[in-house]
Amino acid sequence: MRTWMRWAALALLGLSAGCATRQAREPAPALEGQAAQAAAVAQRARAEVLRNAGPWSFGGRVAIQKAGKGGSGRIDWRHDRQGGDVMSLSAPVTRQSWQLTVEPDGAGRLDGLEGGPRSGPDAEVLLQEATQWDIPVRALADWVQGVAAPDLGQADIQYGADGLPQRIEQGGWRIDYPAWRQDAVTGQALPARIESVRGDATVRLLVDDWQWLP
């Protein structure tokens, strides 16, 4: 465990200082009134299109902090048609990596640990116990598309002047969307950058490439 914790603290360093330390810009005033209502209608339509677009994968960079400790690395994420996820994280400096597999029922398996893989009925609890990282894995699979997580209850969404979500507050997390990109396949906007914060836990994602899978 101690060896793993040392790796967790150090192995992710050195990829993208900007991803780990750049402060989010103060968002422009959120839409209100009829403009916000129109944006909410468009958001529901966008979410439906993305929900029906099929399984996906993306590659990018992630920065994780908990109580002021953490680092950054490469992330590759695959979401299958049944709702399962495989998230791989690698540290380019040390060339170490781990992989979290999440079943549709929320159970998980974590590979890459000293002493062999571990499994448990809750993937997020499994990950936190092994690494001390607070990562909302199942919700993040929705937030990375800029939509609320249906299994996490009520969400408060604020919309920017472009009609896209600039902030989602859900399950105690605040998710900010400083940058978007246009998806050529669906014609919908997808987040290029996601910044999630809850208490002393922060998860930042930079999406380099997105693919819809057959």
Torsion from C-alpha of 95, 15, 127, 147, nearest 10 degrees: -140
Q: Apex CA 31: angle with CA 205 and CA 184, to 5°? A: 45
> What pLDDT shows up at residue 23?
41
> What pLDDT shows up at residue 15?
37
Residue 214: burial class (beta carbons within 10 Å; 0-12, 13-18, 19+): exposed
The Cβ of residue 33 has, within 10 Å, a number of other Cβ atoms equal to 7
Instruction: List the one residue out of 57, 64, 66, 58 whose CA is nearest residue 16.
Output: 64
Sketch out the chain's domains with CATH numbers: 2-21+34-212 (2.50.20.10)
Q: From CA 159, how far away is CA 164, in angstroms rounded? A: 5
> What pLDDT shows up at residue 205?
95
Instruction: List the one residue out of 131, 147, 135 whose CA is nearest residue 202.
Output: 135
> What pLDDT shows up at residue 57?
97
> What pLDDT shows up at residue 28?
67
Query: Do the beta carbons of residue 66 and residue 201 sit within 8 Å?
Result: yes
> What pLDDT shows up at residue 114?
81
Return the residue matching tokens 């994968």.
57
* pLDDT by 10s per residue, the chain, length 214: 444 444 444 444 443 333 433 344 456 678 888 999 999 999 999 999 999 999 999 999 998 888 877 778 899 999 999 999 999 988 765 667 889 999 999 999 999 888 889 999 999 999 888 877 788 888 999 999 999 999 888 999 999 999 999 999 999 999 999 999 999 999 999 999 999 999 999 999 999 999 999 9
> What pLDDT shows up at residue 115?
83
Return the residue matching tokens 């049944």.
82
